[in-house]
C-alpha cells in the first residue's frame, strides 16, 4: 500500500470547496460559532463576508437561527466541532431541521478521536449514532481530499439536512481527481476474498494497514470505504459478503449504535455471516496523541488486523 500524504485535513478541503462553490452560487450562507480557525470557515468569510455570520459561542442559537433562515428558503451551512453541534444543538437539529426537512448542512469537524489531544470533551465519538438515528438526516464521512470536496457538493445539492463528519488532521490521499462520489455510494479500496472490512473516515487508512498485515498471514481482506453512511450502499456490501462470507466493521466511534450496529443488523436480517465490530467498547477515551490513543482503544491497523484474523479463524 502506497498513498501520498494529504496536505490538508478533510475539514479544510471541505471549507475550501464551500468557498469555491460560493463563487458561483450566491444563494447559500455560512453560520459559524467562534471556531472559524478550527473549521476553516474563515476561508469562506474572507471571500464572501456578506454571506457569513459568526453567531458567537452559542451552538443552540446558531443551529436554531440557521433553521429559521432555512425555513425562509435559504440553504445554510453550519460549521462547528462535532461534539458541540451534535450534542448541544441536538434538539434543534432533530425537531426543527430534520423534521421539517430544511436545507441545513453541517460541517462537523474533529470527528472521532482525531481530536485525541484535547480530551473527551472534544472527541465526537457518538455523533454518528445521533445523526444517523434522526429521520431525514443524511450522513457523509469522507476519508480524503477528493471525497471531502465531493462531500460538500453532495451536501449542497441534496435537498434537506446533510451532516458531514470531518477530521482534524491530514491523513492520506486515497482517490485521484477523476473519481466520482454520490449519495449512497461506496468505494472498494482493496479487493479481497476472505473477509470484508467495512469502514469509513480515518479508519479506511487503518483498515488498509490491517489488510497489508493480514496479507502477510495469508488472509486476503477486501476493504470498503462507506463514505456515505446514510443512506449506505447495501448492494456493494451484499456482493462483497457473498464472496468473503465474513464482516468486520471498523469505526472511530462508539461501537454501540455506530455503523457497525447498522451493518450487522442488516446482514443478520438478510444473509447472516460471522461478524466482528470494532469501535470504542462502551468507554470514554482520553487525551493523548492520535496514534497512541487509537491503538490504546483498539482502533489501529494492527489491532484491526488481530481481530480480523481471529474472525477469519472462526469462519474457517
Residues 31-60 as x/- pattern, contact with another protein by CB under 8 A: -x-xxxxx---x-----------xxxxx-x
Q: Taking CB within 5 to 8 Å according to partner kind, which of ligand TPP, another protein, none is near residue 296?
A: another protein
**8-state DSSP, 143:** -
Minimum gap (Å) between residue 69 Cβ and another protein: 18
- Judged by CB under 6 A, which of 57, 238, 310, 313 binds ligand TPP? 57
The x, y and z cell numbers of residue 155, run together, are 451536501
Nearer to ligand TPP, 59 or 144 (CB): 59
Q: Taking CB within 5 to 8 Å according to partner kind, which of another protein, ligand TPP, none is near residue 286?
A: another protein
Q: Is 217 exposed, middle or buried (0-12, 13-18, 19+ CB in 10 A)?
A: exposed
- Judged by CB under 6 A, which of 84, 152, 175, 232 binds ligand TPP? 84
Beta bridge partners of 75: 28
**What residues from 60 to 79 belong to the interface with another protein (CB under 8 A)?**
60-61
Counting every residue written for the chain, the total comes to 316
Q: Taking CB within 5 to 8 Å according to partner kind, which of another protein, ligand TPP, none is near residue 117?
A: another protein
Contact (Cβ atoms closer than 8 angstroms) between residue 177 and residue 183: no
Nearer to ligand TPP, 48 or 122 (CB): 122
- Judged by CB under 8 A, which of 270, 289, 313, 314 binds another protein? 289
What three-state secondary structure class fits 205?
A: helix
- Judged by CB under 6 A, which of 3, 34, 169, 184 binds ligand TPP? 34
- Whole-number Å distance between alpha carbons of 235 and 212: 25
Contact (Cβ atoms closer than 8 angstroms) between residue 312 and residue 246: yes
Name the phi and psi angles at 302, rounded to 5.
-60, -35
Minimum gap (Å) between residue 166 Cβ and another protein: 18
Minimum gap (Å) between residue 220 Cβ and another protein: 34
Q: Which region among 15-23, 224-232, 248-256, 291-299 touches another protein (by CB under 8 A)?
A: 291-299
- Whole-number Å distance between alpha carbons of 22 and 28: 7
Name the phi and psi angles at 43, rounded to 5.
-65, -40
Nearer to another protein, 61 or 184 (CB): 61
Q: Does residue 306 bind another protein (CB under 8 A)?
A: no
Residues 238-257 as x/- pattern, contact with another protein by CB under 8 A: --------------------
Q: Taking CB within 5 to 8 Å according to partner kind, which of ligand TPP, another protein, none is near residue 287?
A: another protein
Q: How many residues bind ligand TPP (CB under 6 A)?
A: 4
Minimum gap (Å) between residue 121 Cβ and another protein: 3
**What residues from 87 to 106 belong to the interface with another protein (CB under 8 A)?**
88
Radius of gyration of the chain (CA): 19
Interior angle at CA 162, CA 161 and CA 168, nearest 5? 140
- Whole-number Å distance between alpha carbons of 188 and 170: 21
Interior angle at CA 245, CA 239 and CA 251, nearest 5? 80
Distances (CA, A) of 196 to 175, 199, 211, 274, 287: 20, 9, 10, 11, 31
- Whole-number Å distance between alpha carbons of 148 and 151: 5
In the complex, the residues that contact another protein under the rule CB under 8 A are 32, 34-38, 42, 54-58, 60-61, 83-84, 88, 117-122, 286-289, 292-293, 296
In the complex, the residues that contact ligand TPP under the rule CB under 6 A are 34-35, 57, 84
Amino acid at each position: 500500500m502506497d498513498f501520498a500524504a494529504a496536505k490538508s485535513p478533510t475539514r479544510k478541503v471541505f471549507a475550501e470547496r464551500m468557498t469555491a462553490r460560493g463563487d458561483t452560487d450566491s444563494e447559500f450562507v455560512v453560520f459559524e460559532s467562534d471556531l472559524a480557525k478550527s473549521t476553516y470557515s474563515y476561508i469562506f468569510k474572507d471571500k464572501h463576508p456578506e454571506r457569513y455570520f459568526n453567531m458567537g459561542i452559542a451552538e443552540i442559537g446558531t443551529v436554531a437561527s440557521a433553521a429559521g433562515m432555512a425555513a425562509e428558503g435559504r440553504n445554510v451551512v453550519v460549521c462547528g466541532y462535532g461534539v458541540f453541534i451534535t450534542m448541544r444543538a441536538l434538539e434543534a437539529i432533530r425537531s426543527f431541521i430534520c423534521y421539517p426537512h430544511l436545507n441545513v448542512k453541517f460541517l462537523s469537524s474533529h470527528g472521532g478521536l482525531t481530536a485525541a489531544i484535547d480530551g473527551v470533551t472534544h472527541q465526537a465519538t457518538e455523533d454518528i449514532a445521533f445523526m444517523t438515528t434522526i429521520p431525514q438526516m443524511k450522513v457523509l464521512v469522507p476519508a480524503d481530499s477528493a471525497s471531502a470536496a465531493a462531500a460538500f457538493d453532495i451536501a449542497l445539492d441534496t435537498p434537506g439536512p446533510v451532516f458531514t463528519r470531518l477530521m482534524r488532521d491530514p491523513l492520506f490521499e486515497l482517490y485521484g481527481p477523476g473519481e466520482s462520489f454520490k449519495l449512497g455510494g461506496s468505494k472498494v479500496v482493496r479487493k479481497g476474498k476472505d473477509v470484508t472490512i467495512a469502514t469509513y473516515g480515518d479508519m479506511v487508512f487503518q483498515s488498509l494497514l490491517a489488510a497489508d498485515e493480514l496479507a502477510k498471514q495469508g488472509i486476503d481482506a477486501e476493504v470498503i470505504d462507506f463514505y456515505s453512511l446514510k443512506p449506505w450502499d447495501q448492494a456493494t456490501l451484499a456482493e462483497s459478503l457473498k464472496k468473503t462470507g465474513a464482516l468486520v466493521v471498523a469505526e472511530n466511534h462508539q461501537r454501540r449504535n455506530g455503523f457497525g450496529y447498522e451493518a450487522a443488523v442488516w446482514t443478520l436480517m438478510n444473509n447472516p455471516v460471522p461478524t466482528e465490530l470494532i469501535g470504542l467498547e462502551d468507554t470514554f477515551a482520553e487525551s493523548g496523541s492520535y496514534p497512541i490513543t487509537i491503538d490504546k482503544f483498539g482502533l489501529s491497523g494492527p489491532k484491526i488486523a488481530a481481530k480480523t484474523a481471529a474472525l477469519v479463524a472462526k469462519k474457517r
